[in-house]
Structure formats: C-alpha cells, structure tokens
Structure 1
Amino acid sequence: MTPYSLAFYLHVVTSGSVLGARPADTPQRVAELLGTDFAENSFDDQSMWRDYGLVEFFWDRQSAGQPWSGHHFTVQVHRLAHGASSVPGALLRSRYGRFDRRLRFAKLRRLSERRGTELVEVPHVQAPCYRTFWQPESLTSVTVIGAHEEYVTPGNLRVGDVYSIGAPTRPEKVECGATRVR
C-alpha cells in the first residue's frame, strides 16, 4: 500500500471527513470539495446519495421542497478488491496515488494508535462475519471482515481486511449495538 493512500484512510478515521467534506455538509459543499465526477441516485425525492467511486455521501429531507440534510458518508474500501482501476476517482488518485486492493485493519489500527487515535471494538449485528471498531472523537467506524461465512462475506476479501469506513457513528448507535455494514 502506498503511504499516501494509507494517509487518506488515516485522515478519514481521525477527522471524520473526506478531503474536508463532512457527513452533515450539503450536496453543494461536497461537490465543491470532491468535484462533480459522481453518479447521483435518489429514492422517493426524500433520499439521495452521490457515488464518487470509493466514497459515497448520503442526504435526506422531509419532502421534495425541502433542502437536503447530510446523513452520512461511507468509504467503500471493499470495492478495491474487485480491481476496478477507476474506483478511487480522479481527485483521490491525484492526491493520494494508487490504492491497493486491500486495506489490512491491523496496519490501519497500529498507525492510528501511534498518532493517539484509539479504535474501540463495538458490537456488530452481523458478528462474527463482520467486526466494527469505533473512533469516539471523530464518530468514525471501521468495519472489518471478521470471519468467512458462505453468502455473507465478500469472497475477494480476507479476514482482517477493512470492508468500509463510515461516519458519523453516534454513541447512541454504539450503545444499542446497532452498528452494521453501510
């Protein structure tokens, strides 16, 4: 893994943002920071998400006339295991270089802790196949492949690989044990 792409993941985990874009930011603000190279999806005029390849941002609203409210983002690390060269998106590649197909959680955790950023294991609704680690200050969660089980675990990932990184994961969600793969 290039040190630059690892720096990207570390920044997401420690800051709870992607290139400065935060989960609560408006679609316009996210586009200012991440660019306009995205696929946009919507459902019932009340939810929308933008797919930037490796990163997805999500919004919702009460009705079609209301402004969008930022809900969360997810860094879909598992997509890299399929080898799609365009997955990270042009902006991420220009800043961080090549992204490896897998991100080993042990390496991410070790480097995070060296920087004083602790990742605490919390319950996951699909344990033991998935494990979740939470960073309380940035409200970021890291979902890791915990075990292989037919029809549940993606075949291209190994035990110990990061599946996704998301934010925000609020304390009340952690307390009720409701963390899950986004």
Structure 2
Amino acid sequence: MESSGTNLSLIHLEVAIQIEDLGETAIPDLPWQDWLQTWLRHLQPPPSPIGTYEVSLRLTSDRQIQQLNAQYRAKNVPTDVLAFATLEATAPVALEMLETQPLYLGDIVISLETAATQATEQQHSLQQELAWLAAHGFLHLLGWDHPDEDQLEQMLVEQRRLLQTVGVVT
C-alpha cells in the first residue's frame, strides 16, 4: 500500500522513552513501540526518504510538566499531555540528514500523576488513559489540532479509532 510515496509496510518507528522525576511512582509496562508503530501505519505520515521515523516519549511528574507548560505555553499549571511537533518548526534541515536519518516527528510528554488521577475520575485503567494521552500527543505531532469544538470532536473521534486499532477500547 503506497501513501505519499512511502511504503507503509516498510515504516519503522524508533521510540525513545524517558522517565524522569517520578520517585517511587509505579510505571506500567506498556507496548509503546507497538502502539505508536500501529498508529503511524494507520495515519498517513509525511514521507520519510528512508521510511524511518522517530518519536520521543517522556513520562514525568506534574512538577516537570508544569515547568514545560509554563515555559512553552505560558500556563503555570500541570497538564496531562504536551506535544512538541518538529514538523511545524521552520528551521531548515540539511537534505543529507533527511536522506540518512529518521524523520523526527517530535516529543510527547505525559504526566503520569495527572494520567493516574484522570483514569480514576473516568473510572478506567491507567493503561487506557496513557494510551488516550499518547494518541492525543501523537496526533498533534502529525499536525492535528483543536482550536475549536468541531476540530476537537474530529480529533477525539480519531483518538478513539487509534485506541481501537491497538485493542484499547474507550
């Protein structure tokens, strides 16, 4: 199956997972790589000349995500997920890098503390909440946004589809 010149059967996604500032917090062992790989194949990603993509996923505390939220969004409060898409950046990239390096999609940062609170409030598992937040961040990396209610609803529908593709039902 061809999409945007990229053979989706050959797509490879490298996920760098960082865990910081969580102290004694139990970190669930989740199939992040499989989820993101499946979602990338489901969505139509921008073409990568070498068919390889990269994403950074950081699980962190409310304190750390609040610092990032204050620094980059001028909101000095914790949040559940932040996404920093590199495809939106205007900095030029050397052609030879594009031809030899994975296409870096960006960073997803999730507060494990807020995710746990939201899972309890929504009466579903932490796994389901983390998958929901990762899908939301991943959509942002691929250019999705929700500046109004209509686009938010479209994004939420796509998040549900992504969770269904990996067997995490909402």
TM-score, with normalisation over the residues of structure 2? 0.29
TM-score, with normalisation over the residues of structure 1? 0.28
Specify which structure has the higher proportion of helix.
2
